[in-house]
Amino acid sequence: MTRNLTNAPLSLLCLLWACDSGGLVSHRDSPSPAPQPPQPPAALEVSCLPRAVAPGVAVIGTVSAQDASGKAAVGYTGTVHFASTDAAAVLPPVTVTWRTAGIQAVTLTDFANSLTVSWAVTVTSAEKPLYVANRFNDGINKMGVTVYAYAPEASCADAVVPTAIIAGSNTGLDAPSGIAVDAAGQLYVSNYDLQGSITVYAAGATGNVTPITTIAGSNTAFGGPFFIAFDAAGATGDVAPTTTIAGSNTRLNGPKGIALDAAGQLFVANLNSETITVYAPDAAGNAAPTAMIAGIDTKLSNPYAIAF
């Protein structure tokens, strides 16, 4: 497949203003610099593509021609051919979509100018969507959950758009703070309102959707939940917790982030004491931590979120 690529020349005019002795405004054009002849293209550059992506995700990148100094090749017009190591890939003119797992590449070639460049990407189903809880309205964007299929390189951070947005009055979201996804792709969101709730959404949910279940009520013992992590599943409604860890022995002090390791141990980030406390898989009640990360050498500073 081919695509025409053109870098248009730029022209600059410097206009200088001055006042004469009579107070009248006059102007003059400064001498224009001598036009520079177009430089031949020396290289093609690809940017804004991810280094890892799930199969079937359409991505948008940028290709440009550069001269020998690394600047845009002014006046360049060429034909760029696209090819991929993935025989099932969908190639430009609009997007690139890899469909075969493994390390794949897209190669761009301008045969007339003997220019070529490649971009390698790891295509893997292990690359999961990124879910972000947006806690408040900012005057432009709504409070809610945004979902991204991939993250481009940092220089192109503003080039990615969400693949889904969960927001609106039907969602039950209220200051969403924590977020987790179960093995079935269901989305759990902790809402830090006056008492708190956890709202659950079907896999692939988007828009002003109603949660498939909500955990809320006085029996839950919620007190403005921030972060969440998975253990057992299936709770719904105004249910009592299966286990509560609380009391002076726990050394909990402003707990915020939580996470479970592969062995089922519970790790808690404590904001106030600047510590990480660890509890046995069966810990309950006023249980002492089995391990801690604490002290000046840890470099902990207001720990808030934690993950494995």
> What CATH class is the domain 1-124?
mainly beta
* Whole-structure pTM value: 0.66
Q: What is the DSSP string of 61-130?
A: -EEEEE-TTSSB-TT-EEEEEEEES-TT-B-SSS-EE--S-EEEEEEEEETTTTEEEEEEEEE-TT-PPE
d(CA 62, CA 294): 46
Mean pLDDT of 176-181: 86
For tokens 């610099």, the residue is 33
Can you give the pLDDT at residue 145?
Answer: 86
Q: What is the pLDDT of residues 66-95, one digit of tens each?
A: 998 888 888 888 899 999 999 999 998 878
Can you give the pLDDT at residue 24?
Answer: 37
The answer to whether 192 and 175 have CB atoms below 8 angstroms apart is yes
d(CA 77, CA 85): 26
Mean pLDDT of the residues in the chain: 81
Based on its alpha-carbon atoms, the radius of gyration of the chain, rounded to whole angstroms, reads 28
| Domains in the chain: boundaries | 1-124, 130-298
d(CA 235, CA 256): 21
Cβ neighbours of residue 221 closer than 8 Å, sequence gap 6 or more: 240, 241, 244
Which band of pLDDT confidence, cut at 50, 70 and 90, is reported for residue 263?
confident
Q: What is the pLDDT of residues 192-211, one digit of tens each?
A: 876 789 999 999 999 999 99
